[in-house]
Amino acid sequence: MLEDPTLGEWFLTAEERGNPDTALDARHPDGLAWTTGNLVRPLVHGRAYFSRLLEIVETLGENDLLLFTDWRGDLDQRLDGAGSEVGRVLGRAAARGAVVRGLMWRSHLELMSFSSRPNRRLAEELNTAGAQVVLDHRVHRNGSHHQKLVIARRAAAPEDTAGDTAGDAVAFAGGIDLCYSRRDDAAHAGDPQSQPIADTYGAAPPWHDIQAEVRGPAVGDLEVTFRERWDDPSALDNPNPIRQIFYRIRPVETNPDGLPPQAPDPAPVGPHAVQILRTYPRRRPHYPFARKGERSIARAYRKVLRRARRLIYLEDQYMWSTEVARLFADALRREPELHLVIVVPRFPTQGGRFSLPPNLVGREKALEICRAAGGDRVAVYDVENHAGTPVYVHSKAVTIDDVWASIGSDNLNRRSWSHDSELAVATIDTTLDPREPHDPGGLGDGARVFARDLRLELWREHLDWDGDDDELIDPEAGFKAFRRRADELDAWHRGGQAGPRPPGRIRPHQPQRLGRLTRGWSAPLYHAIYDPDGRPRRMRRDNAW
């Protein structure tokens, strides 16, 4: 019997996940598709995550386990100061005898603004240091491995863990890659080690992002996610003859060792129930752990949005795709008191004449759909720092009615819901929040501490809020406070910045409108390249996930 019957109303069942090939749910002795007894901590900004990751990895030694997946990794990206470069830190762990295994996306070519060279350099350096890191391109056509995951498990728990903040197992999952531009903080001055993006973001683009630190039994589920990919017997790359010749000249690990047996799941450590959600496309050769793909991220949103009543808050890099927008629009039409707050980047990462329009066309249509459904109950914002430089919003975080929260690598688009590999940590705190309103959704679920605190932490930063939280906690009052701060800052800019700068960092998002001709040529590129649909044809026809 469930200790908290609310969990089954929000989380997917194993059947609802729709992937009978995975061991993820079958491994649970209670038959549930989630775990309880976890402790999840949101690490807002790359600097907080990198500092914590450095602290953990530097404690690993003989036979300890360090597993990671990444979309991009930069060898010399510093986690903190000198000597904390990613390659050095992970390499030192391998030199101390830790079992270091990594799955880096092989990536498309640098000429296409991707990261094949840095990913390869990181793999080569770590393999020389004694790790095993492979370049994994077992993806859908034009796809990527987008999961960002690090797992650290000690071979044996220390005899005395007093004062030890790591315990014997910890995992990190979310939106933050081990690469340039990510080591920013709440001041949003940017990372000195930066990747160039659109000129409007400056030489060191301010970067807003989130990673979840997970402890407890859910670490075992995240480890299974890594192991399923690692143990996939299919070739790591496509049989491209030119690439095979290059690999003979510059050898790359293609036959990695097996992993040691998985240890029992960590003991319960906290009040958080966690469901691990993923996306895998249906591809050939099939993933043995997802022969028809997995779309549990999309299925989870489909389920939780039916339960939304008062407030959806989301931060997303894209928020595009009409299929995604219609799920939010359906919720807004169904629930007349439901409010939707969306935080997105002011500009896409790419600003070229031919690359910018396909980045705009999807969001333009998605926001139109949401606004048509919710009217003034829908508010869309972007972020700037106190110097007025736009902040690139890379975070992928959602809270619904202060009950369900998700932090992951997945964006709100077709690509993340069907085409690339993705990973999300959905969390429901079993601790009821004592602050009013106790049950904003009115369904008897009760507001939960984790989701509410995550939303408030993000709102305090965006609003420069240093007062009482009561106004922000109430869904409608908080919605109005958000809009008030954004309008005041926008009016200050439009008035020539006369007088003191109002508090807050958010402004109403004004999407660039595309002309009919531009939309005509950019829409096919958007659908085919930027936001492809990885669902089987029948699912697309039935608009199913």
Q: Residue 147 in 3-state DSSP?
A: coil
- Other C-beta atoms closer than 10 Å to the C-beta of 481 total 18
Angle at Cα 43 formed by Cα 504 and Cα 426, nearest 5°?
105
> How confident is the prediction along the chain (545 residues), in pLDDT tens digits per residue?
347 889 999 999 999 999 999 999 999 998 899 999 999 999 999 999 999 999 999 999 999 999 999 999 999 999 999 999 999 999 999 999 999 999 999 987 654 556 889 999 999 999 999 999 999 999 998 899 999 999 999 997 544 443 343 358 999 999 999 999 999 999 999 999 999 999 999 999 999 999 999 999 999 999 999 999 999 999 887 655 555 555 555 556 667 889 999 999 999 999 999 999 999 999 999 999 999 999 999 999 999 999 999 999 999 999 999 999 999 999 999 999 999 999 999 999 887 676 788 888 889 999 999 999 999 999 999 999 999 999 999 999 999 999 999 999 999 999 999 999 999 999 999 999 999 999 999 999 999 999 999 999 999 999 999 989 999 999 999 999 999 999 999 999 999 999 999 999 999 999 888 888 888 999 999 988 899 999 999 999 999 99
Residue 382: the pLDDT is 98
For 440-461, the pLDDT digits (tens) are 999 999 999 999 999 999 999 9
The partner residues of 395 in beta bridges, in order of sequence, read none
Instruction: Tokens for 382, please give them.
Output: 């972007």
* Alpha-carbon gap, residue 412 to 319, rounded angstroms: 5
Residue 518: the pLDDT is 87
Region of 97 (left: φ > 0; alpha: ψ -120 to 50; beta: rest) is: left
For 137-196, the pLDDT digits (tens) are 999 988 999 999 999 999 975 444 433 433 589 999 999 999 999 999 999 999 999 999
* Residues 386 and 206 sit within 8 Å (Cβ to Cβ): no
Radius of gyration for the alpha carbons in the chain, expressed in angstroms and rounded:
22
The bridge status of strand 132-136 relative to strand 35-44 is: unpaired
Burial of 289: CB neighbours in 10 Å, binned 0-12, 13-18, 19+: buried
Looking up tokens 């990510």, which residue turns up?
Answer: 182
Residue 43: the pLDDT is 98
The bridge status of strand 169-174 relative to strand 210-215 is: antiparallel
Burial of 40: CB neighbours in 10 Å, binned 0-12, 13-18, 19+: buried
For the CA atoms of 428, 434, 440, 446, the dihedral, rounded to the nearest 10 degrees, stands at 50
* Residues 136 and 149 sit within 8 Å (Cβ to Cβ): no
* Alpha-carbon gap, residue 127 to 120, rounded angstroms: 11
Q: Domains, the chain, ranges and CATH?
A: 42-267 (3.30.870.10), 294-532 (3.30.870.10)
